[in-house]
Amino acid sequence: MFEHNSVLLTESIERLRIKEDGIYVDATMGGGGHSSEILQRLTSGHLYAFDQDEFAIVEMEKKLATNRGNFTVIKSNFVHLKAELDSRGITQIDGILFDLGVSSPQLDNAHRGFSFHQDAPLDMRMDTSAKLTAREVINNWDFNDLLRIFTRYGEEKFSKQVARKIEARRQIAPIETTLELVEIIKDAIPAAHRRKGGHPAKRIFQAVRIAVNDELGVLEKALNDALEILEVNGRIVVITFHSLEDRICKQLFAKVAKEDEIYRGLPQIPEEYLPKFEVITKKPVLPSADEIAANNRSRSAKLRVLQRIRK
């Protein structure tokens, strides 16, 4: 069964300000927690839910079968948001939710290769039909590419040492499993630092997962597409789980909500030059202490909201 505790569930649904006849998108359906809550608030409205995980789709179509009249599952990465909606005659939406965390079933399902706690083939694909896997990255990407993703996506202090250890090990034999990679990472990081900041493989696994799924490039494109199709008073709600995602979201929201410096300070600015968007969350919404205690995976979550205020 595909069970997943949706992070910041109440906070995100409240901030979507759902209209019962509105058109909404759950860009990351996963375990269906957010989708279920959105559907409960719709009467004549419709929800389009994206997911590229076949297992998640099968489970959620069963779970939400009674809502088929106002619920459409789209098997696709949300990078194709505009094209998929356009093919269904949808050019404007009233709200969209992005929950960017890896779902608990993906982490807990050993054979998917996301977890550094369980042995599995090096995979990490969100879309199991995609070609690029973690095995390809670890065994075939050159030292400089490994160093780049470990440093940028993992913000790993010992990126160079880890990349060198991987390079040396794979010359002996291919690196095939998650626990093989974990041992290489541990061997590369000094013992004193292995005891700091959680599991020593966490940042490297994050970096490889982001690279395999092109998560940052996909997010930036999808957010820009969402801006284009958002109706006036519609909202974009984003839940991020690491600093790189949050930075992309924060900077884009600030940019589109910013007044043009040429007109700043004028007593009257023509409406066509006013910002079309407003940042609703001046500071990100964070999970409560109770939520963190109940679900430790929520501890790094941040929620940001942007609203279109004019065409």
Model pTM score: 0.90
* HEC-encoded secondary structure of 70-98: HEEEEECCHHHHHHHHHCCCCCCEEEEEE
For residues 295-310, b (16+ Cβ closer than 10 Å) or e, as one string? bebbebbbbbbbbbee
Domain boundary among 197, 213, 229: 213
**Band of the pLDDT at 62, cuts 50, 70, 90?**
confident
Residue numbers of the domain that contains 301: 9-99+215-308
12-16, 90-94, 125-129, 153-157: which range is least confident on average? 125-129
Regarding predicted confidence, which is higher, 270 or 34? 34
Biggest distance spanned by C-alpha atoms of the chain: 71
Q: Residue 150 belongs to a domain with what CATH number?
A: 1.10.150.170
Q: Are residues 209 and 131 in the same domain?
A: yes
Which percentage of the chain shows pLDDT scores above 90? 77
Domain boundary among 213, 232, 255: 213
- Residues 6+ away with beta carbon under 8 Å from 287: 7, 8, 295, 298, 299, 301
The CA-atom distances, in angstroms, between 214 and each of 77, 130, 136, 203, 210 are 11, 11, 14, 16, 6
Task: Give one word for 8, left, alpha or beta, with left for phi > 0 and alpha for psi -120 to 50.
Answer: left
* HEC-encoded secondary structure of 119-182: CCECCCCCCCCCCCCHHHHHHHCCHHHHHHHHHHCCCCCCHHHHHHHHHHHHCCCCCCEHHHHH
**Band of the pLDDT at 3, cuts 50, 70, 90?**
low
Residue 4 within a domain: no
Regarding predicted confidence, which is higher, 81 or 32? 81
Q: Are residues 118 and 146 in the same domain?
A: yes
pLDDT at residue 19 tops 80: yes
pLDDT at residue 1 tops 50: no
Q: What is the reported pLDDT for 297?
A: 84
3-12, 100-109, 128-137: which range is least confident on average? 100-109
Report pLDDT digits (tens) over 117-173: 999 999 999 888 899 999 999 999 999 999 999 999 999 999 999 999 999 999 999
Instruction: Provide the mean pLDDT of the chain.
Output: 92
Q: How far apart, in whole angstroms, are the C-alpha atoms of residue 27 and residue 75?
A: 11
Q: What is the reported pLDDT for 2?
A: 45
Q: What is the reported pLDDT for 259?
A: 81
Report pLDDT digits (tens) over 178-211: 999 999 999 999 988 887 768 999 999 999 999 9
Q: Residue 76 belongs to a domain with what CATH number?
A: 3.40.50.150
Domain boundary among 213, 245, 268: 213
Q: Are residues 95 and 14 in the same domain?
A: yes
